[in-house]
């Protein structure tokens, strides 16, 4: 909790041990850290605080509100430090392969023997069992294997990846939800459990209506570019000075769209009389709408169509998105104080709780590797001599 926030955050008092790497695991932990959990992140010794690493924008946004303990888990002394942390932790988050978990003693069975209340939260590329369980799972690989790439992009142009690491962030969000469910379950039972998900499970679930078009209907969805796969018209159209997205399916919206664009010939065309016929003649209809919209500015289309009850919005670049008046009103950034870099503007959690308003600033920026080694070890019961000994042995840094 920050000094400027008078409300205790929901996860205050929850202790989290973050052993995860890459993006998916840290995304889950970030949810916990933002809402008050005391997170100790394990970093390997020797990682420099360069702009390409922890002090860069990506890792600052991933690892804010955490403390860092630099420890070598391959050493006996490092393992002892780890087990002391497990004893005092509510949640342990990791994304090691099964063989590494076994070697480090990080299976749920091993951790629950040390702390029966601990929740082990694991994330992997393809699941904890099965023929691909030991494969390394990366976002782009899973975008392809989940089918997402096959429905992204324009028809005939081949598969496209999304512009963000969507399988990493989605699986991290699901793992964060799973951790919260396990914490609720522990309130009733007093016992921890193993929570796990994977990039592949997350993306197959995220296919949503496109996925059940196959599982229920036997249809294999294809690329539709910027057009909605099943609703017409819903897509991107040209304006004089840019592009807009317009959503006008359904009888009421379709009628309002035709009226606002002063296109009665579209409203009376039998080829466009209902959703089924509009879908069957999609390309022709989109071309006709485009001929109409290109005579108006983005601002004109956005104002007139929204006033008529037809959803319409500009197509922004990322800078324009953050500078839009609604985004600025929502205040999607908060400063994070960094001793070397100053106040950093990082993205806040999108969750809004009436009883726990967002703190005015993050408690801390992402730490350099090992920045909190001494203070964390002191909390674990190591005195100054013991800390010096661990450093001299290379167990911590």
In this prediction, the residues of the chain whose per-residue pLDDT falls under 70 are 1-7, 48-52
Residue 358: DSSP 8-state: P
Q: 135 — phi, psi (to 5°)?
A: -75, 150
* pTM listed for this prediction: 0.94
Q: Name the nearest CA neighbour of 280 among 247, 232, 234, 235.
A: 232
Strand arrangement of the beta sheet that strand 91-94 belongs to: 66-70, 38-43, 15-18, 91-94, 119-124, 194-198
- Sign, Cα dihedral of 42, 46, 52, 56: positive
pLDDT number for residue 50: 55
Rounded Cα–Cα distance for residues 273 and 254 (Å): 9
Report all structural domains of the chain as residue ranges with CATH numbers, in order of start: 15-207+331-392 (3.40.50.10540), 234-317 (3.30.1540.10)
Q: 256 — phi, psi (to 5°)?
A: -65, -35
pLDDT number for residue 1: 34
Query: Residue 16's beta-bridge partner residues?
Result: 39, 91
The pLDDT tens digits of the residues spanning 99-158 come to: 889 888 999 999 999 999 999 999 999 999 999 999 999 999 999 999 999 999 999 999
The maximal CA–CA distance of the chain, rounded, in angstroms, is: 86
Q: Is 352 exposed, middle or buried (0-12, 13-18, 19+ CB in 10 A)?
A: exposed
Q: Which of 168, 217, 368, 383 is catalytic?
A: 168
Rounded Cα–Cα distance for residues 203 and 183 (Å): 24
pLDDT number for residue 123: 97
Q: Is the peptide bond before 176 cis (omega within 30 degrees of 0)?
A: no
CB 85 within 8 Å of CB 40 = yes
Residues near 58 by beta carbon (within 8 Å), at least 6 away in sequence: none
Q: How many CA atoms lie within 13 A of 290 on its CB side?
A: 14
Q: Name the nearest CA neighbour of 397 among 370, 372, 378.
A: 370
Clarify whether 58 is annotated catalytic: no
């Amino acid at each position: 909790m920050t000094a400027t926030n008078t409300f205790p955050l929901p996860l205050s008092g929850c202790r989290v041990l973050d052993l995860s790497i890459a993006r998916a695991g840290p995304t889950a932990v970030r949810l916990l850290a933002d809402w008050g959990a005391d997170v100790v992140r394990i970093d390997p010794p020797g990682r420099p605080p360069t702009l390409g690493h922890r002090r860069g924008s990506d890792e600052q946004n991933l690892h804010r509100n955490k403390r860092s303990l630099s420890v070598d888990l391959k050493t006996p002394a490092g393992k002892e430090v780890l087990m002391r942390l497990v004893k005092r932790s509510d949640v342990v988050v990791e994304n090691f392969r099964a063989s590494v978990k076994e070697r480090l003693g990080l299976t749920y069975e091993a951790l629950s023997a040390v702390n029966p209340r601990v929740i082990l939260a694991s994330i992997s590329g393809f699941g904890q069992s099965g023929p691909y369980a030991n494969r390394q799972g990366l976002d782009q690989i899973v975008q392809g294997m989940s089918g997402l790439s096959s429905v992204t992009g324009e028809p005939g142009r081949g598969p496209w990846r999304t512009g963000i690491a969507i399988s990493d962030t989605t699986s991290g969000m699901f793992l964060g939800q799973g951790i919260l469910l396990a914490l609720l379950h522990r309130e009733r039972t007093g016992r921890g459990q193993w929570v796990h998900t994977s990039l592949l499970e997350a993306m197959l679930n995220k296919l949503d209506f496109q996925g059940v078009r196959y599982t229920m209907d036997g249809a294999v969805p294809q690329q539709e570019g910027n057009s909605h796969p099943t609703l017409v018209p819903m897509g991107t159209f040209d304006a004089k000075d840019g592009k807009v997205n317009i959503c006008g399916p359904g009888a009421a919206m379709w009628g309002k769209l035709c009226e606002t664009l002063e296109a009665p010939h579209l409203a009376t065309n039998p080829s466009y009389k209902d959703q089924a016929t509009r879908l069957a003649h999609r390309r022709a209809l989109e071309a006709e709408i485009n001929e109409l919209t290109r005579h108006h500015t983005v601002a004109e289309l956005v104002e007139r169509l929204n006033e008529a009850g037809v959803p319409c919005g500009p197509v922004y670049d990322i800078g324009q998105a953050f500078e839009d008046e609604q985004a600025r009103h929502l205040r999607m950034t908060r400063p994070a104080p960094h001793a070397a870099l100053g106040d950093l503007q990082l993205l806040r959690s999108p969750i809004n709780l009436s009883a726990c308003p967002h703190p005015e600033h993050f408690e801390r920026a992402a730490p350099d590797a090992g920045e909190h080694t001494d203070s964390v070890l002191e909390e674990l019961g190591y005195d100054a001599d013991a800390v010096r000994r661990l450093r001299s042995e290379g167990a911590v840094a």
